[in-house]
């Protein structure tokens, strides 16, 4: 029996960091062909849910989709802040009234995710685009756990979006052709997932916020790849991971002040929120994305579609191509988020699925 891999080999690790550094230094040149803001195709008939829509690239996505005519649902932890934003946008907007609504969603609570999904599915309406944008990178912070008992990066960046994606499948199938867009990160190239220690508590690897963040982002790509395989073409639901590039707002609030100051000194290399929103907006609206996803499915490609910050298809990391680990991440994730292993198949058949979360009162 082959010995289980304990981490990235030093060559993989070095290649990963080279990729990250290359992205930071050259992303602006690579994306120089893109308009800012990105011109969107007609989206009047789209219903989109955007998580983490009150700040950073999520705020840009929600605003631009709404101004282009989409029905946008801001899924946020702070509804008051979302309503204030909508009022500001409406005051400065001279087109048709913006079709935006606000729903509460706290990704640090899996009960909240189930409550949100149940409330949305109960409408029996279509959902065309789910943008799992909300994420955290608590640089330099000690290890923290959610009330569900999971390491916070793993829960917010991977587990909660995975649960939301699966639970919203009935609405996404009604809205097909539909898309699940996962806002990922170039940092997943230096990530490694230990499926026996998703919470990073065993002590095998010393915990750091970097370890928490990179492993959660890689787990998201791996889970997305298996979900992409599990969804038959007839379901009409496509799964895409995107890299927004190195964006100032992604992590700035969690950075020490001295590092934030350094960020301000290198604005040429770092994308603004508007620039960082382009790859997700492109993936959410471009008519060729479903064709590309179907092509990958037909070719039995080991990973899901991954769109880089310059809105071009690219390959996720070498480790993301590890099919065996990806299926382990899939099984472990479903177990952690309280869903049966055949949840996706049951939703596709139109059956009900019970989740371990969402039935308790806080």
Round to whole Å and give the CA distance between 299 and 293: 10
User: E-assigned strands of the chain?
Assistant: 47-51, 71-76, 100-104, 129-132, 178-183, 237-242, 305-307, 313-314
For helices 56-67 and 278-285, give the axis angle rounded to 10 degrees: 40
Catalytic, out of 213, 263, 292, 357: 213
357 among known catalytic residues: no
* Close Cβ partners of 290 (under 8 Å, ≥ 6 residues apart): 177, 179, 236, 238
Cα separations in angstroms, 94 against 62, 67, 91, 98, 203:
17, 10, 8, 10, 56
Task: Give me 278's structure tokens.
Answer: 């382009």
For CA atoms 344, 107, 279, 225, give the dihedral sign. Answer: negative
* Close Cβ partners of 195 (under 8 Å, ≥ 6 residues apart): 325, 328, 329, 332
121: enclosing H helix or E strand: helix 110-121
Residues annotated as part of the active site: 213
């Amino acid at each position: 029996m082959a010995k289980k891999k304990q981490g990235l080999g030093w060559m993989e690790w070095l290649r990963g960091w080279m990729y990250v550094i290359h992205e930071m230094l050259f992303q602006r040149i690579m994306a120089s062909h893109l308009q800012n803001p990105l011109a969107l195709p007609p989206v009047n008939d789209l219903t989109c849910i955007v998580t983490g829509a009150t700040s950073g690239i999520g705020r840009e996505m929600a605003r631009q989709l709404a101004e282009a005519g989409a029905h946008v649902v801001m899924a946020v932890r702070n509804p008051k802040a979302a309503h204030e934003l909508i009022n500001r946008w409406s005051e400065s907007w001279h087109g048709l009234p913006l079709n935006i609504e606000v729903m509460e969603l706290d990704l640090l609570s899996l009960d909240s995710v189930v409550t949100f999904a149940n409330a949305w599915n109960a409408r029996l309406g279509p959902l065309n685009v789910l943008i799992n944008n909300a994420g955290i990178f608590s640089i330099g912070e000690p290890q923290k756990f959610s009330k569900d008992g999971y390491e916070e990066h793993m829960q917010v960046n991977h587990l909660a979006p995975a649960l939301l994606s699966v639970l919203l499948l009935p609405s996404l199938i009604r809205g097909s052709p539909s898309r699940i867009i996962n806002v990922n990160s170039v940092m997943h190239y230096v990530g490694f997932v230990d499926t026996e220690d998703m919470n990073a508590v065993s002590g095998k690897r010393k915990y750091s916020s970097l370890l928490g963040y990179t492993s959660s982002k890689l787990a998201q790509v791996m889970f997305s790849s298996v979900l992409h395989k599990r969804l038959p073409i007839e379901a009409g639901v496509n799964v895409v991971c995107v890299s927004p590039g190195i964006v100032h707002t992604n992590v700035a609030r969690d950075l020490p002040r001295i590092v934030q100051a350094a960020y301000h000194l290198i604005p040429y290399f770092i994308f603004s929120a508007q620039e960082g929103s382009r790859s997700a907006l492109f993936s959410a609206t471009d008519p060729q994305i479903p064709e590309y996803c179907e092509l990958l499915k037909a070719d039995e490609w080991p990973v899901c579609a991954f769109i880089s910050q310059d809105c071009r298809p690219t390959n996720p990391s070498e480790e993301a191509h590890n099919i065996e680990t990806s299926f382990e991440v899939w099984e472990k994730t479903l177990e952690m988020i309280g869903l049966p292993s055949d949840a996706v198949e049951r939703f596709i058949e139109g059956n009900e699925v019970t989740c371990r979360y969402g039935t308790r009162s806080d």
